[in-house]
Amino acid sequence: MSSSDTKIITVIGSGLIGRSWAMVFASGGYSVKIYDNQPGQSTKAIVEIKKQLQELEDAQMLRGEATALQQVALISSYDDLSQALEGAFFVQECVFEQLEVKQSIFQDIERLVGKDVILSSSTSCLVPSNVFSKVQNRSRCLVSHPVNPPYYVKLVELVPHPETAPAVMDTTHTLMTKVGQAPVRLRKEIDGFALNRVQAAIIAESWRLVQIFQSSPLRKPVPLDLSRWHPISTFCAEEESTNTEPDGKNWLTEKVDDYCCDIY
């Protein structure tokens, strides 16, 4: 049996994104092994996932054919990386957004898996050539950049490393489609990927609107909830954008500046 027949996916990191990916893959019938380097963290993640899946089932919003309990039964937790990776054909990394942390975990993972195992990163904006620079066999590496949380927002950007094999992009595209996501392929890596660039333009324009509304004597600023799950999150224009610092900057301007610096 080839490793891709085993239907095991390993999720590395059991935070917000890792838990949501685990739910997505389990909804597609895959066995999911979650690993976190904080002892007990992945076990806690399963408790949280079980609660979420039961709530989704009650609200008739559960994805997939199986019941919530059947899906939870597909997910297991590990504090040991080698055990977590055993039998997996696909690895979805979801650790902190820090280049060194990602480079290090992919080095560890590569030592423990076969050459045909696909290594996929959830990074928000680190380009694949940096994330995978310490991996020896980079033809099986790519970024699968989700929108937070992937269980609810299906768009996922597939961003190749310059050495990524076309078959790896194809397999990942097929997998993502099979579990109900809406994958979009980028032909090559680019700073900010596509999604962040489009999102940055929307945020910048929305911020300009906030400023226009603020300067109008006839209009009150409106609260804009542009991207509920994004780090820049809810634009409470009425309360926050008027909180101007002595240097003329304010909370929202700084948030927008930080975000644009992060992605480019």
Q: Which of 28, 146, 183, 221 binds ligand NAD (CB under 6 A)?
A: 146
What is the size of the binding site for ligand NAD (CB under 6 A)?
Answer: 26
- Distances, alpha carbon 212 to alpha carbons 91, 203, 254, in Å: 46, 14, 18
The Cα–Cα gap between 106 and 167 comes to 20
Considering beta carbons, is residue 134 or 213 the nearer one to ligand NAD?
Answer: 134
Query: Least CB distance from residue 123 to ligand NAD, whole Å?
Result: 5
Binding to ligand NAD (CB under 6 A): which residues in 11-40?
12-18, 35-38
What value does the CA radius of gyration of the chain take, rounded to a whole number of Å?
Answer: 20
Residue 127 engages ligand NAD in binding (rule: CB under 6 A): no
Residue 229 engages ligand NAD in binding (rule: CB under 6 A): yes
- Residue 60: both structure tokens together: 């008739």
- Distances, alpha carbon 209 to alpha carbons 161, 206, 224, 233, in Å: 37, 5, 10, 16
Residues 6+ apart with CB under 8 A from 222: 210, 213, 237, 238
- Give the CA count within 13 Å in the CB-facing half-sphere of 241: 24
Q: Which of 71, 124, 196, 241 binds ligand NAD (CB under 6 A)?
A: 124
The Cα–Cα gap between 78 and 8 comes to 14
Query: Least CB distance from residue 212 to ligand NAD, whole Å?
Result: 28
Residue 141 engages ligand NAD in binding (rule: CB under 6 A): no
Considering beta carbons, is residue 4 or 43 the nearer one to ligand NAD?
Answer: 43
Residue 116 engages ligand NAD in binding (rule: CB under 6 A): no
Q: Which of 23, 94, 113, 117 binds ligand NAD (CB under 6 A)?
A: 94
Binding residues (CB under 6 A) for ligand NAD: these are 12-18, 35-38, 41, 94-97, 101, 105, 122-124, 146, 148, 229-231
